[in-house]
Amino acid sequence: AQKITQTQPGMFVQEKEAVTLDCTYDTSDQSYGLFWYKQPSSGEMIFLIYQGSYDEQNATEGRYSLNFQKARKSANLVISASQLGDSAMYFCAMREPSGYSTLTFGKGTMLLVSP
Amino acid sequence: EAGVAQSPRYKIIEKRQSVAFWCNPISGHATLYWYQQILGQGPKLLIQFQNNGVVDDSQLPKDRFSAERLKGVDSTLKIQPAKLEDSAVYLCASSRVVGNEQFFGPGTRLTVL
C-alpha cells in the first residue's frame, strides 16, 4: 500500500485564487512528520511547510497553510492568492520515526497558474 | 549560506557505461541523502549517510550502484554499468541532523541510451 497518496495529477488555478492540493497518508505510528515540497522546472526541491503529528495548530508559512486532519490522515496544502511563479510540481512527504527517519514522497501534483 | 551543490547537471551515456555524480552538502550538515527521481514519480531514497557512515542503503541496487562520503563532507554516487532504467534525476540533499528539514540540490539529469 502506498504511504503517501496524491490523487490529483494536475491542477489548474487562476492567478490570485486559492488552491488546495490533496495528500493522504498511511502510517501506524503516532509520531510522524508531514512535509510539502515544491519542484519547479529547474528541478530543485524547495521546502514549503512542515506539520508534526502532535502539533495542535495547522502549520502556516506565508501564503502556504497545511490543512491537517489527523483522523482522516490527510494533510492538504492550501496556497492562497496564487501567483504565476507557483506553477510547479508539488510533493507531499512523510517522515516516520522508525528506521532512519527517511522521507517517503508521493507522486506529486502539477499545478499550473494562469493569468 | 551556500546551498547543496551537484555536478554535472546533465549527463548522457550509453548503456553499460559508467557514470559518477558529485554532491557537496551545506556546510555543517551531518546527514547526506541521495535520491533517484524517475519521470512522473516522487524521489526515492537510495542511500543516507550520517557523517561518513552509511545508515540506510536498503533501496540501493548494490550490484551496480555505489556511494561514498569523503571525510564526512562531499559525496560521490556511481553507477557501473548503467542500464536504460537508470535514466532519472539524481537528487542530493542534506540536513543538519537526521530527521530535520532536508535541503536539496539542483539534481543531475541522467539519460541512458
When CB atoms are compared, the residue of B40, B48, B106 closest to A43 is B106
Cα distance between residue A100 and residue B19, in whole Å: 28
Per-residue pLDDT tens over the stretch B56-65:
899 999 999 9
Q: Which is nearest to A53 in space by CA: A77, A78, A79, A25?
A: A25
Considering only CB atoms, which chain A residues are within 8 Å of B40? 107
B83 alpha-carbon distance from chain centroid: 17
Cα distance between residue B68 and residue B80, in whole Å: 14
Residue of A5, A34, A95, A103 to mutate, testing the B interface (most B Cβ within 10 Å of its Cβ): A103
Check residue B101 and give its pLDDT.
83
Write out residues in chain B with pLDDT < 50, as ranges.
Answer: none
Per-residue pLDDT tens over the stretch B82-95:
999 999 999 999 99
Considering only CB atoms, which chain A residues are within 8 Å of B105? 44
Per-residue pLDDT tens over the stretch A23-82:
999 998 888 999 999 999 988 899 999 999 999 899 999 999 999 999 999 999 999 999
> Is the pLDDT confidence value at A1 over 90?
no
Considering only CB atoms, which chain A residues are within 8 Å of B101? 35, 47, 50
Residue A16: band (very low, low, confident or very high) from pLDDT cuts 50, 70, 90 = very high
Nearest CA in chain B to A35: B101
Q: Each residue of A43-52: b (16+ CB within 10 Å) or e?
A: bbbebbbbbe
